[in-house]
Amino acid sequence: MRNWSGKVVFHPARVARPGSDAEVAEVLRAAGEQGLRVRPVGAAHSFTPLMATGGVALSLDRLTGVEDVEQATGEVWLRGGTRIREIAGLLAPHRLALPNMGDIDAQAIAGAVSTGTHGTGLAFTGYSGIVTGLRLALPSGEITECSRTHQPELFEAARVGFGAFGVILAIRLACVPAFALEAVETTEPAAVVLESFLERARAADHLEFFWFPGTLRVTVKHNRRLPAGSELRPMSRLDRLVNREFLGNTVFEGMCRAAVALPALARPVGEVGSRLMAGGTFSDSSHRVYVAPRRVRFHETEFAMPLDAFPDVVVEVERAIVASGLPITFPIEVRVAAADDTWLGTSSGQESVYVAVHRYHREPFEPLAEAVWPVFRAFGGRPHWGKDHDLGAEEFAELYPRFVDAQRVRAQVDPDGLLLNDHLRKVFGT
C-alpha cells in the first residue's frame, strides 16, 4: 500500500475491511492474540507514515453513511469510513452542511478528524473542533462512546488522536444549516497582501493566499457566506473543465515535469501557476466552492503558528526557500483558524496562522523541508499531524500543554501498543 504522495510505502500482513462494529472489535481482538499490530487507514492522504503497518491495515470503507440526525441541534452521527465527498449528499435531505472544509474532500471523515484537518477562517475550527461525540472500538475490543460529559479525557485525546486511542466507528459532528458561498479568486501584489491579510482575514469568512516562492504576486482566495436565497452563479462546466481540470491540473502537471528537467523553468512556472489558480468570481453550494481538484501530486509540510507570527513567518519561509536555490514549482499556502479546545489539535488554545510548503512529487522533499523547518520551529510552530515533520515526544510536550495527559490516556487504553507503529512510538515517546 502507498499514501497519496507515493512517499510512504508499506506492506501490511493483512488488510481488514470489517462490515460492522462487532467485526472491527473482532479484528482488534484477533490481531492482539496473533501478536500483530493494527493501524486504521482512511484514504491514505496523510504525508506522514501514520497509517503504515506491517500488521493489520484496518479500513472502514464498508462502514459509511449517516446513523442519526438530531435536527434540533444540527448534530449528525456519521460512520467513520464515510468519505468527506459523500457528506454533502448525505446531509442535503436534512438541509445541513459542514461549517467549513479543507482543500479536498477525498479523506475519510475519521481520518480527517484524527489529524486535525482544517480549512481557513478565523471564526472556524478544523473538523475536530466540531466533533461532539465519538464511538470507539478500544484495543481491548470493547466498544464505547465518549463526549465532553462522558469519558471526557478519552474524548479529548481521541478527537485528534491518529487512531492511537481506538478505532473511530462513528463521529457526531455539529453541522450548520446548508449555505452557499461566493468565491472571489484574484492575484495581488505580495507586499500588499502581507500588509493587509490579517485585517482582511478578521473581516472575511474564509481568506487564504498562495505564494509561489520568488514571485511578486500571490493568489488570494476569498469565500463569502451568502444569505439564504441568494442567486447563485456557479462556475460553468466549460470553465471547470478548462480552468480547473485542464489548465489547473493537466497543463500544470506538464509544466512541473518540464521544470524537473530544466530547473530554470521553476520561476516562470510559478508565475503562470499563480494565474492558473485564480478562478475569478463564482458562487455555489458551500461544498462545491471549498474544494478544488488536486490531481498533480506533491509532498507537503505545514505548521500552525500563533497568529501574531504573521507576516514574519511567511516572509522568512519564502526567503529560506529562495535562499536554498531549490527550484520549487508549488506555492506556499497561508490559512488561518480559530482556537479550539482539543488536546492535540494544532490550533488547540490559540488562533493560528497555517503555513504550508509543497514540492512536486517527482522531486526530493527533504532539502526543502530542511530549509523551512527551522523557520517554523523558531516561531513556535506545531506541525500538522498528517504532513511531513520530524518532531518527537520531547518537542510535543513543549508545544502542547495537555500532551502528557494524552500520553497517560494512551498508555491506559492501549498498554500493549496494539495501535502503535514506529512513527507513533516516536510521537508518543514510548
Ligand X SMILES: Cc1cc2nc3c(=O)[nH]c(=O)nc-3n(C[C@H](O)[C@H](O)[C@H](O)COP(=O)(O)OP(=O)(O)OC[C@H]3O[C@@H](n4cnc5c(N)ncnc54)[C@H](O)[C@@H]3O)c2cc1C
* Other CB atoms within 10 A of residue 241 CB: 12
> Which positions ≥6 away from 99 have C-beta within 8 Å?
124, 130, 174, 175, 176
Q: Residue 231 Cβ, how far from ligand X at the closest point, in Å? A: 28
**Residue that the C-alpha cell 453541522 belongs to:** 175
Q: Is 141 in the site for ligand X (CB under 6 A)?
A: no
- Taking the C-alpha atoms of residue 107 and residue 82, their distance in angstroms, rounded to an integer, is 8
**Mask: binding to ligand X, 304-343, rule CB under 6 A, as x and -?**
----------------------------------------
Amino acid at residue number 239? D
Q: Candidates 54, 102, 349, 392: give the one binding ligand X (CB under 6 A).
A: 102
- For ligand X (CB under 6 A), the number of binding residues is 32
Three-state secondary structure string covering 159-210: HCCCCCCCEEEEEEEECEECCEEEEEEEEEEHHHHHHHHHHHHHHCCEEEEE
Beta bridge pairs of residue 208: 221
* DSSP 8-state class, residue 23: H
**Residues 25, 37, 46, 317: which binds ligand X (CB under 6 A)?**
46
- Residue 199 C-alpha cell reads as 485585517
By beta-carbon proximity to ligand X, the closer residue of 102 and 263 is 102
Q: Which of 24, 299, 65, 294 is nearest to 163 (CA)?
A: 24
Judged by CB under 6 A, which of 168, 183, 201, 320 binds ligand X?
A: 168
Please identify which residue in 27, 31, 37, 40 interacts with ligand X, judged by CB under 6 A.
40
d(CA 93, CA 162) in angstroms, rounded, equals 31
CB of residue 396 to ligand X, shortest distance in Å:
15
Q: Give least dist CB 134 to ligand X, A.
A: 9
Q: What minimum distance in Å lies between the beta carbon of 179 and ligand X? A: 19
Q: Does residue 114 bind ligand X (CB under 6 A)? A: yes
For ligand X, the closer of residues 40 and 327 by Cβ is 40
Q: Is 51 left (phi over 0), alpha (psi -120 to 50) or beta?
A: alpha
Q: Contacting ligand X (CB under 6 A), which of 117, 187, 274, 350?
A: 117
| Closest distance of CB 154 from ligand X, Å | 13
Name the one range near ligand X by CB under 6 A: 46-54, 308-316, 358-366, 391-399: 46-54
Contact predicate 87/68, CB 8 Å: no
Tell me which residues touch ligand X (CB under 6 A).
Answer: 4, 39-46, 50-51, 60, 80, 102-104, 107-108, 110-112, 114-115, 117-118, 162-163, 167-168, 294, 384, 386
